[in-house]
A and B are shown apart, each in its own frame.
Chain A
Amino acid sequence: MTNTDWPLWEVFVRSRRGLSHTHAGSLHAPDAELALRNARDLYTRRGEGVSIWVVPSSAITASSPDEKDPFFEPAADKPYRHPTFYEIPEGVKHL
């Protein structure tokens, strides 16, 4: 199968109402409309979703592995930032 120079798209799928879109994977497509359709065929064929977003991969700005320490290390020793001191009210889902 030959590779094309179609751009890469990132696919986000919302699995249920009330949940947020989560990253499902990526695919190639010539434009946004077809990217959406390809996403439907590749990532929701077993009933995984109720809504799809596609985003050009080139539009995503990602943190670099080189910046890992300054970015994430300082958060590691601050347990007081974790919301572990509340009781979660009954009946609240997806927290």
Chain B
Amino acid sequence: MTVAVATTAALALGDDALVLSHRLGEWAGHAPVLEEEVALANIALDLLGQARVLLSMAGDEDELAYLREERAFRNLQLVEQPNGDFAHTVVRQLYFSTYQHLLHARLATGDGPFAPLAAKAVKEVAYHRDHAEQWTLRLGDGTDASHERMQRACEALWRFTGEMFRPVEGLDVDARALETVWLESVTGVLSRATLTVPEGPRSGAWTAGAGRQGVHTEPFGRMLAEMQHLHRSHPGASW
């Protein structure tokens, strides 16, 4: 495997972790309850740790995080979607952490450049997945209001899920096989939560998903501006 190819994959996975970490961090001070705020912050910090390792494989972590333009980011469009209400955040977590858990479990058993990171990350991500599933079950099978919000979030984010299973250069996994297991797992959780699995397309002309090529949705630019503002205003600032 050439270095350049590993860099492409490291950027893709690193940007996923970095961007989702920032989104989850936005809940600080706003989460519905204190306990949940700490839980989301913990997940965000796990992801930030993974992002640092991955971006360091691709270059200078600070430069990559703080000085790249929007079009240079390679994260999935799913992870950059705004937090919305708590249901949106839970469903985004369910869709992404299920994928990330399956992916890292596979990477950890291989001997590629990501195996050491994946071996550590797979335990962290297993907890993220459990957290999302627990909330999906409770909110989906909760009150009429929580069920309706969850269903709305499931539908809204569904079209972003196909992108996770496009092959990434340098990532030695069978994306199709991953997708089959993912669908099975998510369908199972949604059904147990009395939610309807969305019927819309997950890939094709009318779905989202060019994040890996650097095309991002509108809210991403604003998120990036906030994330990079301090570093750009005060280059080299440190604690």
Contacts and interface: CB of A to CB of B under 8 A. Distances in A.
Interface of A: 1-2, 4, 6, 27-31, 33-34, 37-38, 41-42, 45
B138 A2 contact: no
A9 to B, nearest CB: 10
Contacts of B35: 27-29, 38, 41-42
Contact of A28 (B33, B131, B134): B33
Nearest to B42: A41
A41 B41 CA distance: 9
B89 to A, nearest CB: 16
Interface in B22-80: 31-39, 42
B31 A37 contact: no
Contacts of B32: 1-2, 4
Given A27-B35, A38-B39, A42-B38, 13 more contacts: A1-B31, A1-B32, A4-B33, A6-B33, A28-B35, A29-B35, A33-B134, A34-B134, A37-B131, A38-B36, A38-B38, A41-B38, A41-B39
A4 to B, nearest CB: 6
Nearest to B43: A41
Nearest to A9: B35
A42 B36 CA distance: 10
6 tightest A-B contacts by CB? A38-B35, A41-B39, A41-B38, A41-B42, A27-B35, A42-B38
28 contacts: A1-B31, A1-B32, A1-B34, A1-B37, A2-B32, A4-B32, A4-B33, A6-B33, A28-B33, A28-B34, A28-B35, A31-B138, A33-B134, A34-B134, A34-B138, A37-B39, A37-B130, A37-B131, A37-B134, A38-B36, A38-B38, A38-B39, A41-B35, A41-B39, A41-B42, A42-B35, A42-B38, A45-B38
A34 to B, nearest CB: 6
Contact of A30 (B38, B42, B130, B138): B138
Contacts of A41: 35, 38-39, 42
Contacts of A45: 38, 42
Nearest to B38: A41
A4 B35 CA distance: 11
A67 B35 CA distance: 34
Nearest to B138: A30
A1 B37 CA distance: 10
Contacts of A38: 35-36, 38-39
A27 B37 CA distance: 13
A28 B36 CA distance: 10
A70 to B, nearest CB: 38
B131 A1 contact: no
B42 to A, nearest CB: 5
Nearest to B29: A1
